[in-house]
Structure 1
């Protein structure tokens, strides 16, 4: 015996241009019949919340699946899977769109890793629940709401991977902590007892970019804050974020941000004497400016 509920959608070309378009969503529970063998032309995230079953890999092996787990079904790849005799609790989302290429490059979608153990599925289930709620008949915002929830789903699945701790990857945490020190990639690697190649592999897997790219994003984010909220000269801002050469910093800033530091300050600068904080506010209790 099993229970199943599903909806399928046909988003317009405009909705596809939003980046991700949701094609369908389903919630299933019990000793479900096997799926496939088949090949699809779009992506599917199958979230096994609890229970166990199997997955037929392209090389012919039958791999065990135990919840919580994620099964990635990618376009053009044959697949075959099913719940075991005891059944499982499954949610699935079909999606497509040009953003899938970038999400794959960043490591959020892993075609070469069709089975991903998860530590918890509460956040992915919340994203899927948003798609389910949007699927009510006659909802004029269906495609946009569902597409936005697919973005949220991919982020939550990335965070829920069992090989990622609740506070994120410790290597990335350490790089972020030391990001403003004038250290080379080789020096950062040495601090972790790694070779530069090992560090590049770890950062690519954790953040979808190179160590230089990861550090640059953190440094430029802090530089923007200093430019927008202080009167520090550009050279001082450069030194505070790890660059001794202000001309080199300005070139990097302009290339990545699209405008020079002085122009960014002219556009974004504002006086916040005594009002700046590095603490991330709680959205449920935002900081309030008292009335005079």
Structure 2
């Protein structure tokens, strides 16, 4: 015996411009019938929350699936899988497509070459799927927008839950972030961590989906924006604070990446806020508030 619930959607051209669109969602559990062999024209994330089963890969290999796990079904690639006889499993699935798939794949959040991905937990993924399910009531005018947002959320949740990801991120990424403002080359960063430049590039690509140079640049420019917006430091001083000895080079790099020069970026922020800047991340349960004035 098994139970199943599913809905399918047909988003229009304007919704595809959101980057990702949800084509369907399902929640199933029990001794489900096998799926396939079949081939689809879009991506499907099948999240196995509990139980076990099997997956036959396109090369004919038979692999055991044990929850928590993720099955990536890629467009144009045959797939064949099923829950274990008798006990079955608890699964949810989301069908999706869109132009942002290419970027998510490049960043390592979608792995079409890995049809079976072990997970550490599926709580966050289940939350995203349930968000789609709740939006799926007929007559919802924001259906496509809400489900699109939830697909983005699902991909991030699945990336965090991969069993081969160290909690809190790859240690090398944390170390690079701590050293990001030192005036070091990529080769020097690699040497500091006992790695070759090639090993560092592979580790950063695996963990962040980009090169070490881009990873460091994102951190540096983010900090530079904070300093430009919240202090009156000269641009040369900002450049030095984020690891660039040559302010002219920093200005060219900032302009090319941000699309505006540092001085113009500062002017657009309206005003500096010396003394009011905080590096602490607000606690969602206790956000900053304006204290009420005491009554006279």
Question: Per the shorter chain, which TM-score range?
Answer: over 0.9
d(CA) in 2 for partners of 1:160, 1:132: 21
Residues 206-285 of structure 1 mapped to structure 2, 5 A cutoff: 206-285=207-286
Residues 145-156 of structure 1 mapped to structure 2, 5 A cutoff: 145-156=146-157
1:71: which partner in 2?
A: 71
Report Cα offsets for 1:122-168 as digits up to 9, x if no partner. Answer: 00000001000001121111111011100000011001111112211
Report Cα offsets for 1:103-135 as digits up to 9, x if no partner. Answer: 111111011111111110000000001000001
Q: TM-score scaled by structure 2?
A: 0.96
CA RMSD of aligned residues (A): 1.0
2:23: which partner in 1?
A: 23
d(CA) in 1 for partners of 2:292, 2:237: 35
Residues 58-207 of structure 1 mapped to structure 2, 5 A cutoff: 58-85=58-85, 86-207=87-208
Q: Secondary structure at the match of 2:63?
A: strand
d(CA) in 2 for partners of 1:249, 1:233: 12
d(CA) in 2 for partners of 1:125, 1:53: 19
Instruction: State how many pairs are aligned.
Output: 292
Q: CA deviation at 1:275?
A: 1.3
Asked if the contact 1:227/1:269 (under 8 Å) is kept, the reply is: no
d(CA) in 1 for partners of 2:96, 2:55: 20
d(CA) in 1 for partners of 2:100, 2:274: 41
d(CA) in 2 for partners of 1:290, 1:261: 35
d(CA) in 1 for partners of 2:171, 2:88: 36
Report Cα offsets for 1:212-266 as digits up to 9, x if no partner. Answer: 0000000000000000010100000000000111111111100100000010011
Asked if the contact 1:229/1:269 (under 8 Å) is kept, the reply is: no
1:10: which partner in 2?
A: 10
Q: TM-score scaled by structure 1?
A: 0.98
Q: Secondary structure at the match of 1:263?
A: helix
2:39: which partner in 1?
A: 39
Asked if the contact 2:2/2:31 (under 8 Å) is kept, the reply is: yes
**Structure 1 stretches of 4+ moved >2 Å:** 288-292
Q: CA deviation at 1:290?
A: 4.0
d(CA) in 1 for partners of 2:292, 2:49: 48
Q: Secondary structure at the match of 2:183?
A: coil
Report Cα offsets for 1:165-199 as digits up to 9, x if no partner. Answer: 22111111111111011111111111221110011
Q: CA deviation at 1:35?
A: 0.4
d(CA) in 1 for partners of 2:290, 2:246: 38
Asked if the contact 2:132/2:147 (under 8 Å) is kept, the reply is: yes
